[in-house]
Amino acid sequence: MIFTGRRRSPLVVVLLLILCPALGLQSQAAEKPNVLFIGADDLRCDLACYGHPLVKTPHLDQLAAEGVLFKQAYCQQALCNPSRASLMTGRRPDSLEIWDLPTHFREVDADIVTLPQLFKQQGYFTQNIGKIFHNWRQKIEGDPASWSVPAVMHFARHDDDQPLLNNN
């Protein structure tokens, strides 16, 4: 737009002052942050970012420094399956009615939405590498509804290193 020296309407100036920053904010709001969720078995606080004096974890320390470090995250249940199902669904083990290792949360509530599903619904790529849903010897392997692609190195495919179970 070329200004020719004519006086502009105050309304136009006010609208431009309001709309220009708003348009810039809209484009910033459209950018989604990167999210990396790492779940590890029996890790406790044995990382340098949690203050462990001997363990050296520079890459995880950098991720923690640039992201979110959970300092008050508590286990929902003494067993890993109910605890993981609780973490990934946002529901307590008592409301999920999962108190053991083998029960798949989809057997209890087929329509429950998981944390990865929420991210997936918002356009994020979600992938499971390893074991996050602790279930094996079931009809449902992992939770395909939660992931953008099939799971890699899924726990259910490991037969020789299974925990001791009495299936009789």
Positions marked catalytic? 80, 134
Task: In whole angstroms, give the CA distance from residue 143 to residue 127.
Answer: 11
Question: Are 121 and 87 spatial neighbours (Cβ–Cβ below 8 Å)?
Answer: no
Question: Are 151 and 128 spatial neighbours (Cβ–Cβ below 8 Å)?
Answer: yes
- Location of structure tokens 């020719």: 4
Residues facing residue 129 across a β-bridge: 152
Fill in the DSSP letter of residue 126: -
What are φ and ψ of residue 105, in 5° steps? -65, -25
Mention every residue, 6+ apart, whose C-beta is less than 8 A from residue 82: 76, 93, 96, 98, 99, 100
